[in-house]
Amino acid sequence: MAGKTMRAVLYEGYGGGAAALKHVEIPVPSPKKNEVLLKVEAASINPVDWKIQSGMLRPILPPKFPFVPVTDVAGEVIEVGPGVQDFKAGDKVVSMLNSLKGGGLAEYAVASVGLTVDRPPEVSAAEGAGLPIAAGTALQALKAGGATFDDTNKPSNVLITAASGGVGSYAVQLAKLAGLHVTATCGARNIDFVKSLGADEVLDYKTPEGKILKSPSGKKYDSVVHCTVGIDWSTFEPNLSASGKVIDITPSPGTMVSSFVKKLMWAKKRVVPLLLIPKKEEFKFLVDMVKDGRLKTVVDSKYPLSKAEEAWAKSMEGHATGKIIVEM
């Protein structure tokens, strides 16, 4: 593909939101050692993508401008770099691209073999692209709360906040696959939808009961997969079982301090900050779950690359039901 160009969407500095995205024609990248070049079929937008643009992770991300954002993609291998034996041209895959390099909002992208997995024909590009960050985080948060996804699972109660979002919609389904009793929070419009994903009890987060997170059946939570912000420890604490843990995927500085202090005090009820550590074997597990029809990617909306800024704006509004997909 040397010398060829492709359509891509990038930004040139911090801030500006969707309006700062630019449509450009840039060279197709080349795969290096242990990398593959993908023809991207679909990409999914995660809140971290626009948080990076806002400067929240400066100066680490992005390391330089201009930056082609988005890491979660599905596509077809076009070319393999030196040393690649597990993939060949024509293979359909799901990949999480290197966060430092981004590259997902483009017709072609370079992916590391270490975070690329085969995508069987049963898994569409949109379904696959939804998985890496959102389902990967849901899986790791449930595991951090004690779920094991094998026969050793003990019955336990989990609360999943923002169950209608990208992470939450996978978390509800995975929690049920792990045999947990699920209480979930979402807005009124999504109650039936979240029940259809398998939640046993659903709280509307805007009602008085939803605000205090009290389980309708009086259950105490052994773990919480906390996918939103603005809920104090004092709200969680009375609803937790004796050693209940809040797995916080959007921890504030206050949460980090509280987590540290509780650890020092050997407190049994705790808040545990979680940052996704992407793992190939977990991506494979998730793709297999979708292939077997045991897990689904709920698609909020799909946009062509030519309207990527609309997808970006939709994610920034914070009201997606499932995943926002851009198709190339």
Ligand X SMILES: NC(=O)c1ccc[n+]([C@@H]2O[C@H](COP(=O)([O-])OP(=O)(O)OC[C@H]3O[C@@H](n4cnc5c(N)ncnc54)[C@H](OP(=O)(O)O)[C@@H]3O)[C@@H](O)[C@H]2O)c1
Any contact of residue 276 with ligand X (CB under 6 A)?
yes
Return d(Cα 48, Cα 178) in angstroms, integer: 27
Any contact of residue 286 with ligand X (CB under 6 A)?
no
Instruction: Please say whether the dihedral angle defined by the alpha carbons of residues 148, 150, 151 and 156, taken in this order, is positive or negative.
Output: positive
Any contact of residue 319 with ligand X (CB under 6 A)?
yes
Any contact of residue 299 with ligand X (CB under 6 A)?
no
Backbone φ, ψ for residue 176 (5° rounding): -65, -40
The distance of closest approach from Cβ of residue 231 to ligand X in the complex, given in angstroms and rounded to an integer, is: 7
Return d(Cα 328, Cα 305) in angstroms, integer: 5
Backbone φ, ψ for residue 184 (5° rounding): -130, 150
* Residue 159 exposed, middle or buried by CB count within 10 Å (0-12, 13-18, 19+): buried
> Of 55, 63, 83, 318, which lies in the binding site for ligand X, with binding defined by CB under 6 A?
318
6 or 298: CB nearest ligand X = 298
Any contact of residue 228 with ligand X (CB under 6 A)?
yes
153 or 250: CB nearest ligand X = 250
The distance of closest approach from Cβ of residue 270 to ligand X in the complex, given in angstroms and rounded to an integer, is: 17
- What is the per-residue binding string for ligand X in 170-199, x denoting contact by CB under 6 A? ---------------xxx--x---------
Biggest CA-to-CA distance, the chain: 64
The distance of closest approach from Cβ of residue 48 to ligand X in the complex, given in angstroms and rounded to an integer, is: 5
| Chain residues that interact with ligand X, rule: CB under 6 A | 46-48, 133-134, 137, 161-162, 164-168, 185-187, 190, 205, 227-228, 249-250, 274-276, 315, 318-321
